[in-house]
């Protein structure tokens, strides 16, 4: 069903942040950092794939995403919704249903047999494509998907994600320089604010103590400096 209500950006950010915390899709570990796929340490980790196991949450988030895209890009701005392999595919399918649009997906690399295609699904020449992924860190992976869409004859000037790190301005600049606008529901700053509002865990429920959140905030204020202090070459 196509949403007809448009919650404010602040409400969307707050509700999405709470959903990520309640589903334990965000993790804070400043004293024992995670290692990201880049090899860099991080005291924060988000797993948006976890959301696929929560039907009520994902339904609300897809309403938010549809509203955000229609408000930011227009109600008749797209012909196709395309998911980035792999995590973006389910979100693209749900969003395509919300927007009543065809859905396709973009491979990370050309298929090694048959047509050797990177685009699977309908996409006519000149189609206006909305790229959907679960999240963005620095925008790098989005550029490859955007280029694949353009090389296949489509146009792609917008990408939509559930979560954006919101702490690497150079990532947003990469997308902007590539002619792509980013639409997101919340950032780490929104999650941190909501985590402080929720307070510590009670009886095993979701929540974080103040010391943990202070450690996270130190990272968010200067992520590259935080990583260099721990021996990372950034």
The rounded percent of the chain whose pLDDT value lies above 90 is 81
Average pLDDT for 105-116: 76
**Model confidence band, residue 171 (pLDDT cutoffs 50, 70, 90):** confident
Q: What was the pLDDT predicted at 36?
A: 83
Domain limits for position 56: 9-229
pLDDT tens for 49-78 read 999 999 999 999 999 999 999 999 999 999
**Within-domain flag for 40:** yes
What pLDDT sits at residue 110? Answer: 83
Please check whether residue 156 lies inside any domain of the structure: yes
The verdict on residue 81 lying in a domain is yes
pLDDT at 169: 83
Residue 4 lies in a domain: no
Q: How confident is the prediction for the chain on average, in pLDDT?
A: 93
- 223 pLDDT band (50/70/90 cuts)? very high
Q: Is residue 1 part of a domain?
A: no
Looking up residue 23, the CATH number of its domain turns out to be 3.40.50.2020
2 found inside a domain: no
Judge whether residue 114 has pLDDT over 60: no
Report the domain count for the chain: 1
Looking at the chain, the whole-number percentage of residues with pLDDT higher than 70 is: 97
Classify residue 3: in a domain, yes or no. Answer: no
pLDDT exceeds 70 at position 18? yes
SS (H, E, C) the chain: CCCCCCCCHHHHHHHHHHHHHHCCCEEECCCCCEECCCCCEECEEECHHHHHHCHHHHHHHHHHHHHHHHHHHCCCCCCEEEEECCCHHHHHHHHHHHHCCCEEEECCCCCCCCCCCCEECCCCCCCEEEEEEEEECCCHHHHHHHHHHHHCCCEEEEEEEEEECCCCHHHHHHHHHCCCEEEEEECHHHHHHHHHHHCCCCCCCCCCCHHHHHHHHHHHHCHHHHHHHCCCCC
Would you state the pLDDT for residue 11? 97
Q: What is the pLDDT of residues 181-208, one digit of tens each?
A: 999 999 999 999 999 999 998 888 999 9
Q: Tell me, yes or no, whether 234 lies in a domain.
A: no
What is the reported pLDDT for 148? 95
């Amino acid at each position: 069903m196509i949403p007809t209500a448009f919650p404010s950006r602040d409400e969307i950010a707050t509700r999405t942040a709470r959903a990520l915390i309640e589903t334990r899709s965000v993790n804070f570990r400043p004293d024992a950092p995670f290692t990201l796929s880049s090899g860099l340490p991080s005291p924060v980790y988000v797993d948006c794939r976890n959301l696929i196991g929560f039907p009520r949450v994902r339904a609300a988030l897809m309403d938010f995403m549809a509203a955000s895209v229609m408000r930011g890009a227009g109600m008749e701005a797209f012909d196709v919704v395309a998911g980035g392999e792999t995590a973006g595919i389910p979100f693209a399918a749900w969003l395509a249903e919300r927007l009543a649009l065809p859905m396709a997906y973009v491979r990370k690399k050309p298929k090694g047999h048959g047509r050797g295609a990177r685009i699977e699904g309908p996409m006519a020449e000149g189609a206006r494509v909305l790229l959907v992924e679960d999240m963005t860190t620095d925008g790098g992976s989005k550029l490859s998907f955007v280029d694949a869409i353009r090389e296949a004859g489509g146009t792609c000037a917008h990408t939509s994600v559930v979560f954006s790190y919101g702490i690497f301005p150079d990532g947003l600049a990469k997308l902007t320089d590539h002619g792509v606008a980013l639409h997101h529901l919340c950032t780490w700053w929104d999650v941190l604010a909501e985590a402080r509002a929720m307070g510590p865990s009670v009886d095993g429920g979701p929540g974080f103590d103040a010391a943990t959140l202070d450690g996270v905030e130190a990272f968010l204020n200067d992520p590259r400096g935080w990583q260099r202090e721990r021996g990372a070459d950034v």
